[in-house]
């Protein structure tokens, strides 16, 4: 028994010492690419953590693509970027209904990064300006009934991906610095 304890302690200690201290923080490594397939999660807000570096929301699911009655966590932007996308702290009320289009954690955990958020009977608002750019370039955005991110206009387009920039340029949606012009100029 003594040997077993020693072995277990050695094993745990070696695990504690192992490994690389540095990795690069990247939301896409946890939730997939900006143009990956999304799921829909509907629920009721149980708790709001309006803080940095990520606004967090805990919800009890009521439907969508997931089983009702489950406990999910929504991870989103830092406070200022959340505000820049067009959201305010006051909109997220405990007990209110919420519908999220987003990317589930790649390891299958019950966590989601929102592509767009609908609160109560309000509009489905974009939570990802770069995905707006992608969907606009693909021609699918207008059919999604999503209100574009409040900070879409003037946003740099590089993070949307090089593949989509020529199409956005062709649509006349980029300025001289390849920043996004939105809403689309009237022709």
List the one residue from 64, 83, 91, 110 that touches another protein (CB under 8 A). 110
Residue 156, number of CB atoms within 10 A of its CB: 14
Residue 174 pairs in a beta bridge with: 180
**Closest to another protein by CB, 29 or 140:** 29
Asked whether position 54 contacts another protein by CB under 8 A, the answer is yes
Distance, CA of 126 to CA of 149 (rounded, Å): 5
Asked whether position 53 contacts another protein by CB under 8 A, the answer is yes
**Closest to another protein by CB, 52 or 140:** 52
What residues from 14 to 33 belong to the interface with another protein (CB under 8 A)? 15-16, 18-19, 21-26, 29-30
DSSP string computed for the chain: -HHHHHHHHHHHHHHHH-S-S-----HHHHH--TTS--EEEEEEEEEEE--SS--EEEEEEEEETS-TT-EEEEE---HHHHHHTT--GGG--TT-EEEEEEEE-TT--SEEEEEEEEETTS-EEES-HHHHHHHHHHT-GGGGT-BPPTT-TT-B-GGG-GGGHHHHHHTT-B-TTSBB--SPPP-
List the one residue from 34, 72, 92, 182 that touches another protein (CB under 8 A). 72
Asked whether position 89 contacts another protein by CB under 8 A, the answer is no
Asked whether position 4 contacts another protein by CB under 8 A, the answer is no
Asked whether position 139 contacts another protein by CB under 8 A, the answer is no
List the one residue from 35, 42, 58, 84 that touches another protein (CB under 8 A). 58
Q: Which range touches another protein (CB under 8 A), out of 66-74, 129-137, 155-163, 174-182?
A: 66-74
Asked whether position 47 contacts another protein by CB under 8 A, the answer is yes
CB of 24 to another protein, least distance (A): 8
Q: Are 105 and 82 in contact (CB under 8 A)?
A: no
> Which spans of this chain sit near another protein (rule: CB under 8 A)?
12, 15-16, 18-19, 21-26, 29-30, 46-47, 51-54, 56, 58, 71-73, 105, 107, 109-111
């Amino acid at each position: 028994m003594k040997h077993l304890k020693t072995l277990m302690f050695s094993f745990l200690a070696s695990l504690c010492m192992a490994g690389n201290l540095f990795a690069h923080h990247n939301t896409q490594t946890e939730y997939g690419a900006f143009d990956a397939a999304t799921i829909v999660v509907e629920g009721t807000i149980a708790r709001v953590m309006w803080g940095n570096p990520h606004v967090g929301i805990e919800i009890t699911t009521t439907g969508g693509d997931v089983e009702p009655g489950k406990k999910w966590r929504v991870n989103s932007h830092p406070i200022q970027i959340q505000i820049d996308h067009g959201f305010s702290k006051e909109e997220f009320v405990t007990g209110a209904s919420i519908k999220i289009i987003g990317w589930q954690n790649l390891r299958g955990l019950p966590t989601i990064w929102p592509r767009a958020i609908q609160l109560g009977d309000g509009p489905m608002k974009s939570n990802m300006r770069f995905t707006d750019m992608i969907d606009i370039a693909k021609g699918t955005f207008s059919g999604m009934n999503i209100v574009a991110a409040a900070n879409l206009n003037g946003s740099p387009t590089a993070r949307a991906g090089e593949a989509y920039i020529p199409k956005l340029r062709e649509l006349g949606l980029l300025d001289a610095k390849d920043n996004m012009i939105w809403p689309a100029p009237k022709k």
